[in-house]
């Protein structure tokens, strides 16, 4: 779907005349701080620091008939207009975001199939994402021999602002559990899609050091960002690391 920003009073399905009528349709999106601080359209938007990003709040309406997601980014003056305190706005948006039924978590193989025009009829064989001894290096193993998941892709049914689920505790918990409670990395493929990679998978059975595999991940980020058509769709050139076994926190890493 395409995303289209619009005026707050032009939504067709959502009544935006008062807070109670649209509060269930307020969600979180993430944007790079440098972009938000330099683009005039974000000057008065409500922005909350989140590592090297901002959390922003927007009203969302889905028009499946025209394949468009309409949105309005809430501005500082809107809180006064609707008589809503920031704490109330933030909690409501976070709750909506955490429980968003549009969120999708899939294996890399499943995600590739969904992106294919043949998705309804093809079935990628289990061996397609494995690497037997002697195969060319670089083949992705999204599941190991025991069926344990190594790589998961997070998006939503609209393919809009999927990376924003990095700010959802529910999403983080689900990935953490699916990775058998092991630390993992997150890479924003664009603003719309997030890749999560189990750290132990990157070590290649202990043969790679942290310096080596993080360097590989930064190379992956550069390559993906270089292929993004619109630079505004690039969320970050940083790598995000979730430490679940020591404090349950996300840290932002930049290439040195």
> Rounded CA gap, 74 and 23, in Å?
12
pLDDT one-digit tens code per residue, 155-187: 999 999 999 999 999 999 999 999 999 999 999
End-to-end CA distance of the chain: 36
Is this prediction's pTM over 0.75? yes
How would residue 254 be classed by pLDDT, with cut points 50, 70 and 90?
Answer: very high
Residue 2 near residue 67, CB atoms below 8 Å = yes
How would residue 22 be classed by pLDDT, with cut points 50, 70 and 90?
Answer: very high
User: Please, what is the angle between helix 169-178 and helix 86-98, to 10°?
Assistant: 30
pLDDT one-digit tens code per residue, 119-134: 444 444 444 444 434 4
Res 126: pLDDT: 46
pLDDT one-digit tens code per residue, 83-125: 999 999 999 999 999 999 999 999 888 887 776 654 444 444 4
């Amino acid at each position: 779907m395409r995303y289209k920003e619009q005026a707050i009073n032009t939504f067709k399905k959502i009544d935006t005349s008062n807070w109670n009528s649209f509060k269930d349709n307020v969600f979180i999106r993430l944007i790079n701080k440098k972009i938000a601080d330099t683009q005039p359209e974000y000057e008065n938007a409500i922005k909350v620091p989140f590592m090297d990003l901002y959390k922003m709040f927007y009203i969302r309406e889905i028009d499946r008939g025209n394949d468009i997601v309409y949105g309005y980014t809430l501005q500082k003056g809107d809180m006064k207009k609707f008589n809503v305190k920031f704490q109330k706005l933030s909690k409501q948006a976070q709750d909506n975001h955490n429980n968003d039924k549009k969120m999708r978590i899939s294996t890399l193989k499943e995600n590739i199939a969904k992106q294919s025009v043949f998705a309804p009829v093809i079935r990628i064989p289990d061996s397609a994402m494995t690497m037997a001894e002697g195969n060319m290096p670089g083949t992705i193993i999204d599941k190991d021999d025991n069926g344990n998941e190594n790589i998961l892709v997070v998006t939503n049914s609209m393919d809009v602002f999927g990376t924003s689920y990095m700010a959802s505790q529910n999403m983080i918990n689900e990935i953490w559990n699916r990775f058998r409670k092991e630390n993992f990395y997150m890479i924003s493929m664009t603003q719309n899609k997030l890749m999560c990679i189990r750290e132990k998978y990157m070590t290649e059975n202990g043969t790679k050091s942290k310096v080596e595999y993080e360097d590989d991940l930064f190379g992956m980020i550069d390559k993906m960002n270089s292929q993004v058509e619109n630079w505004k769709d690039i969320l970050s050139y940083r790598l995000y690391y979730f430490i679940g076994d020591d404090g349950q926190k996300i840290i932002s890493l930049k290439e040195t």
